[in-house]
Amino acid sequence: MRWCAVFSLHLAPDLDAEAVARMVERSYRPFARLLLRRPALRGGLTIEAGVSERLWREGHEDVIIALRTLIERGQIEPVDTAAYGAPLPLLPEAEIRRQLVRNAAINRTYFGLAYRPTGMVARAYAATPALARAAQDERYRYLICDRRALPGHDSAASRRTPGGLALLGCDRTLSEAIADRTAPRVETLRTAFARAGDDALCILPVGRLTEDPARMRRMLSAIERMPLLCRTPRELLAEAELAGSHGEICEPDGGPWLLWHDPENLVHRMQWRFIAHARTLVVRDPGGHPRARECLDRALCADFLAAATPPLWDRARIERGASLLLESALGALGNEEEQAEARFYALEIGERAAKISSP
């Protein structure tokens, strides 16, 4: 494999219908139409189940139908992820597996039986051995992750764990060069491709790519002149075996963890205590309280955790995540003490967020 573009569709959970409509009109619809008109352009597609639900529910069925056509004719290969953007590497293995299964099940209702992802990716391309084991248990054939999550940061991007899971590295430099808001010219793209080498994948955020239609056309023209190879999972695994490298993955050094679970962040600490409490209540009777389980799934979105970091600080989003956790905990019908503990966590998160955001 030389390189492969993986297009990523994500909507923040608290976007209103008007904002979603703007995103669809400026990004998702032009993106789908361009791919339909250019069958030679191939790649992967990561779309969270929550995004599929919103697009269909809010009247953008044409985008779902177009993406389904691309999947059915083999131009786009689905890549699985968490149903609502949860930070998978920080969750227990049982929860990781559940999130992956749920994402595939929901997306299959919109994209049909052609939605059969053979690989997966987590938010921010983060990976851990636990995530790799969960992916292998669910019979995924490859895991896309940041190069820092691979043994030997400067080594080849294709790896194969002892259990048989192919690991494909994501070249962030190439991704940023292609998606840069400054609209890089073709020569900049050529330089980025050359720097990425023969083993790179790039994750392309559709929203930024389609802000300028002319830039999107330039990018597609540049890509079509590059040696793009889309291989089947069997071929990818065969090439990984030929590399002859074996090793377990490790956590990225630094990486995205501080966005989601900074040990020095007082809000993060309380958020994760609340998540653990709500999950304890929900898994006690997983089939008895489906609404509580759904609220917990939505509350696990990494956006609510990232909102508690200084660069992305958003008090309203923090409180929205806490309210979903509270709804989940109360819906699980715990005893009075457990419900009181849930209310304490929700209030404490709000108070800590208010103190940090106040002068």
Give residue 241's pLDDT. 54
Note if the pTM is more than 0.85: no
144 contacts 168 by C-beta, under 8 angstroms: yes
Q: Is the pLDDT of residue 177 over 60?
A: yes
3-state secondary structure of 41: coil
Structure token pair of residue 156: 């080849």
**Average pLDDT for 209-214:** 74
CA dist 163 and 158 (Å) reads 15
Residues 6+ apart with CB under 8 A from 62: 29
**Average pLDDT for 264-272:** 94
**Average pLDDT for 84-92:** 93
Give residue 160's pLDDT. 61
Residue position matching structure tokens 């999950």: 279
Q: How does the average pLDDT of the chain come out, rounded?
A: 83
Helix axes 49-57, 93-111, angle to 10 degrees: 30
Structure token pair of residue 284: 């006690």
Give residue 204's pLDDT. 81
More confident residue, 194 or 14: 14
Structure token pair of residue 207: 């929203």
Q: Is the pLDDT of residue 191 over 80?
A: no
Helix axes 290-299, 315-331, angle to 10 degrees: 160
81 contacts 26 by C-beta, under 8 angstroms: no
Cross-strand partners of 169: 145
Give residue 159's pLDDT. 56
Cross-strand partners of 119: 79, 142
Residue 59's alpha-carbon distances to 16, 24, 30, 49, 76, in angstroms, are 13, 10, 16, 16, 23
Q: String of b and e for 44-83 (b: at least 16 CB within 10 Å)?
A: bbbbbbbbbbbbeeeebeebbebbbbbbeeebbbbbbbbb
Q: Is the pLDDT of residue 273 over 80?
A: yes
CA dist 113 and 71 (Å) reads 10
Residue 281's Cα: distance from chain center in Å?
26
Q: Is the pLDDT of residue 351 over 50?
A: yes
CA dist 151 and 279 (Å) reads 32
Q: Is the pLDDT of residue 131 over 50?
A: yes
**How confident is residue 347, by pLDDT bands cut at 50, 70 and 90?**
very high
Q: Is the pLDDT of residue 234 over 60?
A: no
Give residue 153's pLDDT. 41
Q: Is the pLDDT of residue 152 over 70?
A: no
Give residue 281's pLDDT. 95
Q: Is the pLDDT of residue 226 over 70?
A: no
More confident residue, 164 or 320: 320
Q: Is the pLDDT of residue 223 over 90?
A: no
Q: Is the pLDDT of residue 236 over 50?
A: no
Q: Is the pLDDT of residue 5 over 50?
A: yes
**How confident is residue 52, by pLDDT bands cut at 50, 70 and 90?**
very high
Question: What is the β-pairing status of strands 43-47 and 119-121?
Answer: unpaired
Give residue 286's pLDDT. 76
Percent of the chain with pLDDT over 70: 79
More confident residue, 187 or 40: 40
Alpha helix segments (H runs only) across the chain: 17-23, 29-37, 49-57, 61-72, 93-111, 129-137, 172-179, 186-196, 206-209, 213-224, 233-243, 257-260, 266-284, 290-299, 302-306, 315-331, 336-357
Residue position matching structure tokens 């699980």: 332
Cross-strand partners of 88: none
Q: Is the pLDDT of residue 359 over 70?
A: no
Radius of gyration of the chain (CA): 21
Q: Is the pLDDT of residue 285 over 80?
A: yes
Give residue 252's pLDDT. 43
CA dist 148 and 53 (Å) reads 33
**How confident is residue 227, by pLDDT bands cut at 50, 70 and 90?**
low
